[in-house]
């Protein structure tokens, strides 16, 4: 039995589901769509409305697939993509340590989902039950490459988008997007 892999999938995937639903619905103290849109705009991921939806859906669906152990390489690629984007757009300037707003936690998540692809989701997964388990080093490296490549494409496309009209005073949604509840708080440069 692969209880450890099931536990890892449930914890990691479950937290991604929570993180995605914070963005989509404002659950678990999250900013909801409006706050996430403000965050995406501040990160120059435009159109912000589309990127807010894309980010929330990717985390929610990717986390759900990971929990179920279904299409594990695709789930890992999706989650690697959102974490790569978070590293590049939010955490990189702060160095590695999470205590300083850095990227260490995101890197750990990428490593964990990549390891789950290499080892496979385990006997207690839909991939295994349905006989379509894909695992091994090639699958792990492939999911990592697809995730990083997708993140690069999303950031490139997002940077080319037209900025939204910014209000003269910061709305409560923009305030939420810059606070600790947004999941990936933006940094301020002085």
Which tens digit of pLDDT belongs to each residue from 125-171?
999 999 999 999 999 999 999 999 999 999 999 999 888 765 433 44
Give the number of other Cβ atoms within 10 Å of residue 163's Cβ: 10
For the record, the structure tokens of 12 come out as 């990691």
For the record, the structure tokens of 158 come out as 């997002």
**How far is CA 99 from each of CA 14, 95, 179, rounded to the nearest angstrom?**
23, 10, 15
Q: Where are the beta strands (DSSP E) in 108-184?
A: none
Contacts 24+ apart (CB under 8 A), 84-89: 84/110, 84/147, 84/148, 84/151, 84/152, 85/45, 85/55, 85/151, 85/154, 85/155, 86/184, 88/151, 88/155, 89/43, 89/44, 89/45, 89/155, 89/184
For the record, the structure tokens of 38 come out as 């403000």
CA distance 172 to 165: 16
pLDDT class of 2 with cuts at 50, 70, 90: confident
The overall pTM is greater than 0.75? yes
Backbone φ and ψ for 135, nearest 5 degrees, come out as -150, 175
pLDDT value for 184:
52
98, exposed or middle or buried, with CB in 10 Å at 0-12, 13-18, 19+?
middle
Give the number of other Cβ atoms within 10 Å of residue 16's Cβ: 27
- Section 64-75 average pLDDT: 98
Residue whose token pair is 């390891």: 115
Model pLDDT for residues 27-38, shown as the tens digit of each residue: 999 999 999 999
Closest CA to 62 of 7, 129, 180, 143: 143
């Amino acid at each position: 039995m692969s209880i450890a892999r099931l536990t890892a999938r449930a914890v990691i995937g479950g937290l991604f589901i929570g993180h995605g639903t914070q963005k989509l619905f404002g659950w678990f103290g999250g900013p909801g769509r409006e706050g996430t849109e403000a965050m995406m705009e501040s990160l120059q991921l435009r159109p912000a409305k589309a990127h807010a939806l894309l980010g929330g859906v990717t985390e929610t669906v990717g986390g759900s697939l990971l929990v179920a152990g279904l299409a594990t390489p695709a789930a890992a690629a999706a989650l690697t993509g959102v974490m790569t984007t978070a590293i590049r757009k939010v955490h990189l300037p702060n160095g590695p340590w999470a205590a300083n707003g850095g990227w260490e936690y995101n890197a750990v998540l990428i490593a964990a989902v990549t390891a789950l692809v290499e080892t496979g989701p385990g006997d207690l997964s839909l991939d295994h039950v349905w006989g379509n388990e894909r695992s091994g080093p090639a699958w792990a490296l492939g999911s990592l490459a697809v995730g990083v490549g997708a993140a690069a494409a999303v950031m490139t496309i997002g940077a080319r988008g037209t900025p939204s009209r910014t209000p003269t005073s910061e709305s409560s949604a923009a305030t939420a997007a810059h606070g600790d509840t947004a999941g990936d708080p933006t940094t301020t440069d002085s």
